[in-house]
A and B are shown apart, each in its own frame.
Chain A
């Protein structure tokens, strides 16, 4: 006689539980963990001329000995050569500045959309999303036309008499800031809008009723309640910007040293896949740390206060 828990419905339930829990893990395993392991494996290999252009992690020698070769020099080089550290720091700095700028510009925009009359909200959101319908690359290219010495911006400023000589903005870090903020602003606005549009307007009325002037009510009620949106938007901007390649490459100058560009050089220019992989691993580590910190902060905010 079968045990009671082995009857078909119970078995089906258990199976569906295994599938329910297992599927996300399988997904993560195949599309995240496995590629990560491959990158990790490449990062401890040595570059060589051939196909693939790196040494294998293990090899069966004729004597039946399994030889595993782990090369940590790539990580050593990343640590020792100051150019990589400088690039990491500069990338983090650019990402930080851009995130703050996006927040500064995006918050009022998201707030304005969230508090606009309902029939205006969808059109306004569309205006935020609309640029996505044009290729990202084309939009960044367009900034070259705007920012270059003979470009639209300089012509405009010269015509208005604001400046006498054209500004050299293109191929500077400023151009990178402009390009990044422009490209990533929607990623800040959308989560903030989602958050702010859920904010109960009577909370602000209550604050006003209790003697709070609008600015103070914003600081004490709106801002803390939109913290989740701020965190989400900041992550969506900060993380991809650290590894951004196209914008610094097109708009940045020689001094814009960012990890994305170094990765490109190592991978394509130097065919040094292992070093490129090591850089990618370190970059991942640098991004996971602030992410975990942010999450912990968020959890603490929820628990306490």
Chain B
């Protein structure tokens, strides 16, 4: 997932409070988890503790960057973390920050989607370090009624043109367009819209993408990686480039609020980025045994299906798919049909220098300078 650093301080406070209670339970065996906000089902931790007797201690983050900074600084004290596979986990494997998995402790690995495992093997040979946890896409969150009102009933909604076509964007600007604050996401979306390789690092391609973004720049209200959730739900935005689960969360909030705001999620026909969040054990984990036990817990189909039901993301466990709620299983935004799935792409491996260049290009672009 992207740079969602907003709730940094709140998280810090939360982590501190969790650390504060930790010493009270020193006598029992513990496993220290470091996961995204709201990324377990409500009973995931309870059933683990009931089954193993190991007490899970959960710490939260909402940006891969925060997790990465802690890992790089060393001695993070976590047993199990949940980074996004590309580029984060890939980079960490190269830096030797992870412990290889003991697969004998992980029954049920064979139930995982072979396509996803194959894709992960590109960054993690032999799937030695990573177990996929959830996967999703980044597409468009849309306030259907408002967009229809402005654009009419004929215009298709499953297209990047809604944000990248200057004429359409100009018409939607008044009710609000937001893009993710993540250069990889926005550049690959722009490249996909232009019909180019979304992973291209060719200067000409990047320049074309930058020109495209600059062209619609005046119509973009903001670049942010989480703000759009509440704004979509409140009707403050018409279009948000966002993560599938986040947009669906906005959808549910809008339904709960009952103010007549209808949010839908669409995977653009030009193609969209697919991401996978994985589980990995830091090389300095205090209790790798317990971490393995926790992974094994999440490999159980009924456990991971419950997580999907809660977080609105697809899980890679094929045995779990029939257990997931029907509404979710049949939602093309979550479990896309084969022809849509074929248009998804995964970001490819980039060097640090390439990423830095892209990031700095991004900063300049955002500042419109």
Residues of A within 8 A of B (CB): 47, 49-53, 81-83, 86-87, 135-137, 148-150, 168, 171, 246, 249-250, 253-255, 257, 262, 264-265, 267-272
Contact = CB atoms under 8 A, between A and B. Distances in A.
Contacts of B68: 268, 271
B161 interface: no
Contacts of B146: none
Contacts, number: 88
A83 B369 contact: yes
B3 A269 contact: yes
A199 B355 CA distance: 58
6 contacts: A47-B352, A52-B72, A171-B222, A255-B367, A270-B352, A271-B68
A49 B9 CA distance: 26
Contacts of A268: 3, 5, 63, 65-66, 68-69
A51 B360 contact: no
A42 to B, nearest CB: 12
Contact of B231 (A47, A81, A148, A265): A148
Given A168-B221, A246-B9, A268-B68, A262 B363 contact: yes
A205 B182 CA distance: 62
B215 interface: no
A283 to B, nearest CB: 16
Secondary structure call for the B interface:
helix
The 5 A-B residue pairs whose C-beta atoms are closest, nearest first, are A268-B65, A254-B366, A257-B367, A171-B222, A49-B95
B236 interface: yes
B352 A52 contact: no
Contact of B352 (A136, A171, A271): A271
A136 B220 CA distance: 28
Interface in B68-97: 68-69, 71-74, 91, 94-97
A83 B363 contact: yes
Given A49-B95, A171-B221, A268-B63, A81 B360 contact: yes
Contacts of B176: 149
Interface in B191-238: 217, 220-223, 231, 234-236
A115 B221 CA distance: 45
B231 A50 contact: no
Contacts of A148: 231, 236
Contacts of B235: 150
Nearest to A83: B364
Contacts of A52: 72-74
B366 to A, nearest CB: 4
B65 A254 contact: no
A271 B352 CA distance: 9
Interface of B: 3, 5-6, 8-10, 13, 63, 65-66, 68-69, 71-74, 91, 94-97, 176, 217, 220-223, 231, 234-236, 352, 355-356, 359-360, 363-364, 366-369
B356 A83 contact: no
Nearest to A137: B9
B261 to A, nearest CB: 10
Secondary structure call for the A interface:
loop
Nearest to A150: B236
Nearest to B353: A47
Given A49-B95, A150-B235, A265 B359 contact: yes
Given A86-B367, A137-B9, A246-B9, A267 B222 contact: no
A101 to B, nearest CB: 23
Contact of B360 (A83, A135, A246): A83
Contacts of B8: 246
A265 B363 contact: yes
B367 to A, nearest CB: 4
Contact of A269 (B13, B71, B220, B359): B359
Contacts of A264: 5
Contacts of A81: 360
A75 to B, nearest CB: 16
A298 to B, nearest CB: 34
A217 B359 CA distance: 56
Contacts of A265: 359, 363
Nearest to B221: A171
A254 B369 CA distance: 11
A50 B9 contact: no
Contacts of B369: 82-83, 86, 257
Contacts of A51: 71-74, 95, 97
B112 to A, nearest CB: 28
A147 B231 CA distance: 13
A149 to B, nearest CB: 5
A293 to B, nearest CB: 29
Contact of B223 (A136, A150, A254, A272): A254
A171 B221 CA distance: 7
A250 B6 CA distance: 7
Contacts of A50: 72, 95-96
Given A51-B72, A268-B66, A150 B5 contact: no
